[in-house]
Amino acid sequence: MLTLTDYTTLSATRIAVAVQAGELSAREVVDAALACVEERDGVVRAFRRTWPSHARERAAEVDAQIRRGVRLPLAGVPLGVKAGEGLDAFQSTRLASAGCVPIGATSVPHRGGGWQTYGHTDRGPTTNPLNPDWSPGGSSAGSAAAVAAGMVPLATGSDGAGSVRIPAAWCAIVGLKPTNGVLPARDRAGLNTPGPLARHAHDAAAYLRALTGHQDLAPASPRSVGWSSTLGFADTSPAVADTARSALRRLVGAGLLAPTDIAVRLRDPAPAWSGLRDASHGASPAVTELISDNDGHLREIFARVDVLATPTTPHPPHGHEGPGPRMSVALTWAFNISGHPAVTLPAGTTPAGEPVGLQLVTRHGGERLLLHLAVEAEKVFFPARSVGLR
């Protein structure tokens, strides 16, 4: 019998191996996931609703497929689905075809809210599993919280300005924004892309394989890296910047990355993001000029380095009252406009104990490089838990 404690320590890829081998049944795993939600979601409020009947039916289908000899790369893996996407969304259907079992809809901000880095349910706000006084970030709030709390090992998100990366950073998990256009997205402005939230980098890689069919990760040792704490404009907390840079130094020390001094001077993309989102007849000349300037500067940067590293957010998690005047998206949304892929990794905590993410960005189409770096970084940051995840 799969205990709750054992369930919460398993990665998605380890669950899939065990179910495929007959060591566990998908039904056992799903029952454990639903029990975990029952035990923990009263405080966290990561789920707006759960789908126990559907989940158990789907688990039975997975078990039947396994008995027939069907190979499923994510067999029996419980999945959180970002609210608003549903079971028919591209991510959900591809992941279900790979063997995932969707168990419920995770929280997002209230429609029409003035800020987006939180989650809303009819039971109250979603809390951060690391500290209930903190927001988990957003807009993929419930997905990040459910993964961080151990309720699911993998959840879907979408990232239009940092909505995967910000909650992943604040919940100390992994979040990936693929290159814009690699995965289908319902966004006329072209800013949004689907992406995974996971406790383990291997699981984010398994997500990408399930959705794109790519089977390998790009080799990644060593790659040149440039650092910027502000991108040239952000008001980044010194404690956050120091924590992220310390994590980067560990990756350099491990031989994964080779530092290169670069000057990063992007223009603040806020007017461009708003202009693209709100434009009904195309972008204005001022927006077009801003985007062109930043795109040109990013081309120069990636002509010199393979990877650009930054803190994921300029400040630590805010409370449930909101971020105030701070711009949580300052270090993420430039790459929604430019389309570059980015991954956030847990970088440790500030002296005050607040979680910090390290964001790695690379050239268009380089998400497999980022995931390889993420997998290797996990061995550096968390050597004990990286054992036996494959």
Catalytic residue list: 82, 139, 163
Q: Which residue has the tokens 């949004």?
A: 192
Of how many residues is the chain composed? 390
- 3-state secondary structure (DSSP) of residue 373: helix
For the chain, strand residue ranges (E) read 47-50, 78-82, 101-106, 120-121, 124-125, 154-159, 174-177, 193-198, 223-227, 257-259, 307-311, 342-349, 355-362
Residue 342: other Cβ atoms inside 10 A? 30
Instruction: Look at strands 307-311 and 223-227 and give their pairing.
Output: parallel
CB crowding 185-224: b at 16 or more within 10 Å, else e:
beeebebbbbbbbbbbbbbbbbbbbbbeeeeebbebeebe
Element (H, E) at 242: helix 238-253
For 327, the token pair is 């711009």
- DSSP, res 256: S
- 3-state secondary structure (DSSP) of residue 225: strand
Contact by Cβ (8 Å): 200, 13: yes
- C-alpha to C-alpha distance for 73 and 57, rounded to whole angstroms: 19
